[in-house]
Structure 1
Amino acid sequence: MFPVLNHSSVTEFVLLGFSNDPALNKILFIIFLLLYLCSVLGNGLIIILICLDSHLHTPMYFFLSILSILDMGHVTATVPQLLVHMLSSSKLISFTGCWLQMYLFGGVGLAECIFFVVMAYDRYVAICFPLRYMLILNWNLCVRLVVGTWVSGFFLSLVHTYFTMKLPFCGPNIINHYFCEGPSVRNLACMDTHFIEMVDFFMSIFIVLVPLSLILASYVRITMAILKIKSTQGRHKAFSTCASHVIVVTMFYTPSIYIYLRPNSNYSPERDKLITLFSNMVTSMLNPVVYSLRNKDIKAAFIKVVMRNRGV
């Protein structure tokens, strides 16, 4: 492990956010509030539809509901605090609050990163072994896969957060971000963090590239299986079942690779804030849209629930 010091004179941090202009903050507050509500309501709707419609009680939709929970947790870990700061003259967050926010954001994000591998495996089994799909992905395995991803994500986040927040912070205490993001907080430490940054970088390579490599390997096998299908309609149906997952994975991993695997010389606080915002808020909002627009079963479940509430 690397050395840490257990003393700090900083008891709270200041989150700069996006602007100090009260008028602009009010406009941004409305925009971010709408994005947050769209994300929470959209993902919440997906969860409700999957719970209510028995036709959606399959591993694929079970995993989709878990992804929606992760997306809701991802935005809720950061956005409510951002909204409060936009309407308040104070942008302070306590040391404990910063610790908790970093841990929750990291835990949910890492769990989601690993969970995309589970969803890719689900598509692999469904297309390569369709007749044995429910036998291979039985409910016992599905639950264990979900629990495993959550435990792994929050354990890795605990390690990262612990060693970051155990650094000595002697001042200044101004974080140039809209939430307590690891690298931004670490930059305030009053000691040389080069070794810690190197360890963090190699951990990021492992955490990001290993799951991404497994996803790519799954889709190579999936593509090979689809190309063996003689029917054009069958190939199109098989590809369409994977398209939503590929789009969501691309939206998640592209900003993550840039933020956590780019050289330190390319670091730009303002640019990183915008990219993180896209990864955190916009992606979480778009995920249910991507799945619902391309999924006939989700649309059918929505119509069924609406008709049932109308008494039709």
Structure 2
Amino acid sequence: MLHENRTTIKEFILVGFPTLHPDYYGLVAFIFCIVYFITVVGNSFLVVTFVLEPSLHKPMYIIMLSLALSDIGFATVALPKIISRYWFDDKFVSFNVCFLQMGLIHSFGTLNSYIMGIMALDRYMAICRPLRYHMLMKNRTMTILNGFAWILSMAPVSISLTYIYMLPYCGPNRIYQCYCDEHSIRTQACADYSYETMISFTLAMLVLLIPLAFIVYTYIQIIFSVLKISSSQSRWKTFSTCSTQICIISLYYLPRCTVYIFSMAGISMNQDTRITLILFYSLFPPLVNPFIYCLRTKEIKVALKQLRQRTTSTSQANVNIE
């Protein structure tokens, strides 16, 4: 239900880790800064590689490009403020900016869930429906699917954000998290927010569990299809094409499901532990995804080698002209 808005709070205080000693503020800021730098540089490197290398202009890599852009967006929205908070004691966030950050963070989280589903669909069609794959899963089709994912990722967040924004906030105004998220903001309301909690939880489960159920179904079908292949070498080669996606999907879903199971089971945890777990499943996948792509995807290794050779040839040609 919508409340009469009696908000008196103009800004929130970003606390971060509640029990962290000030002596470690600089170290924590440095760690966050390194995580942000590696995430943005690594994913940007992949984006540039995908754009410049024609051999990667394929449906599967359009999905990876979309995921890399999403990871850059999430890190850019989430990390600079907490780095500033611990490095420069810049802990104040205006009311509207906090809600904006919350909306963007949850939108990127929802987007990643949709992208995982598209990844699973791509592998399902490639392995279980190989004769129809090239007819249905074209670059244009994959671009449209990812475009819809970016647009639709804002829908559940907008609904939840509307209800939470209309709650009255009159103190306290301390956000016990490293960025403005829905749980931390909602608990600051000075009114009954059980209805808003139910709406938010229902939407979160829908955007998490529906793609997860689809992913589980598609990979069960993939496993059955792979087991039907007579040659063990062919089975291994076919299954290895899914290994990168399995790594990425596992990193995204397993930690989240663990936190939700703990919550539903009533297992309590202190605030620092909760914040650490949320940061792990939010920041670790975007950090390591570029390394997973480069280490486990043969085509990207070949593309990087070709791109380096072309760059070297161009440089030598320029030197000769001079």
The equivalent residue for 1:7 is 6
The 5 A counterparts of 1:206-285 are 206-260=206-260, 262-263=263-264, 265-268=266-269, 269-285=271-287
The equivalent residue for 2:106 is 106
Supply the distance in 1 between the matched residues of 2:78 and 2:10 (Cα, whole angstroms): 20
Q: Tell me, yes or no, if the aligned pair for 2:62 and 2:143 is still in contact at 8 Å.
A: no
Supply the distance in 2 between the matched residues of 1:103 and 1:260 (Cα, whole angstroms): 20
Matched residue SS, 2:242:
helix
Letter in 2 for 1:6: N
Supply the distance in 2 between the matched residues of 1:200 and 1:276 (Cα, whole angstroms): 17
The equivalent residue for 1:38 is 38
What is the CA distance between 1:264 and its match in structure 2?
A: 8.2
Q: Tell me, yes or no, if the aligned pair for 1:117 and 1:212 is still in contact at 8 Å.
A: yes
The equivalent residue for 2:290 is 288
Which deviates further from its counterpart, 101-110 or 28-37?
28-37
The 5 A counterparts of 1:74-113 are 74-113=74-113
- Normalising by structure 1, report the TM-score: 0.94
Q: Tell me, yes or no, if the aligned pair for 1:201 and 1:260 is still in contact at 8 Å.
A: no
- Structure of higher CA gyration radius: 2
What is the CA distance between 1:165 and its match in structure 2?
A: 2.0
- From 304, 308, 317, the equivalent of 1:306 is 308
Letter in 2 for 1:13: F
The equivalent residue for 1:16 is 15
What do you get for the CA RMSD once the two structures are aligned?
A: 1.7
Supply the distance in 2 between the matched residues of 1:99 and 1:195 (Cα, whole angstroms): 19
Asked whether 1:183 is paired with 2:169, we answer: no
The equivalent residue for 1:150 is 150
Supply the distance in 2 between the matched residues of 1:189 and 1:260 (Cα, whole angstroms): 23
What is the CA distance between 1:123 and its match in structure 2?
A: 0.4
Letter in 2 for 1:302: L
What is the CA distance between 1:30 and its match in structure 2?
A: 1.5
Supply the distance in 2 between the matched residues of 1:49 and 1:131 (Cα, whole angstroms): 29
Gaps of 5+ in 2: 317-322
- From 299, 303, 320, the equivalent of 1:297 is 299
Flag the 1:220–1:247 CA change in 2: closer, same or farther, 3 A: same
What is the CA distance between 1:72 and its match in structure 2?
A: 1.0
Supply the distance in 2 between the matched residues of 1:61 and 1:35 (Cα, whole angstroms): 24
What is the CA distance between 1:255 and its match in structure 2?
A: 2.5
1:188-216 Cα offsets, whole Å, 9 max, x none, are 10011122222322222222111100000
Letter in 1 for 2:140: N
1:198-245 Cα offsets, whole Å, 9 max, x none, are 232222222211110000011011111111111212111111111111
Gaps of 5+ in 1: none
1:7-65 Cα offsets, whole Å, 9 max, x none, are 20001000111365443111112211111111111111111111111111110011111
Supply the distance in 1 between the matched residues of 2:236 and 2:5 (Cα, whole angstroms): 58
Supply the distance in 1 between the matched residues of 2:260 and 2:180 (Cα, whole angstroms): 15
What is the CA distance between 1:90 and its match in structure 2?
A: 3.2
Q: Tell me, yes or no, if the aligned pair for 1:77 and 1:101 is still in contact at 8 Å.
A: yes
Q: Tell me, yes or no, if the aligned pair for 2:16 and 2:177 is still in contact at 8 Å.
A: yes
Which deviates further from its counterpart, 295-304 or 126-135?
126-135
Matched residue SS, 1:34:
helix
- Normalising by structure 2, report the TM-score: 0.92
Asked whether 1:127 is paired with 2:127, we answer: yes
Matched residue SS, 1:13:
strand
The equivalent residue for 2:320 is none
Q: Tell me, yes or no, if the aligned pair for 2:160 and 2:199 is still in contact at 8 Å.
A: no
What is the CA distance between 1:71 and its match in structure 2?
A: 1.0
Supply the distance in 2 between the matched residues of 1:307 and 1:275 (Cα, whole angstroms): 42
Letter in 1 for 2:41: L
Matched residue SS, 1:77:
helix
Letter in 2 for 1:66: S
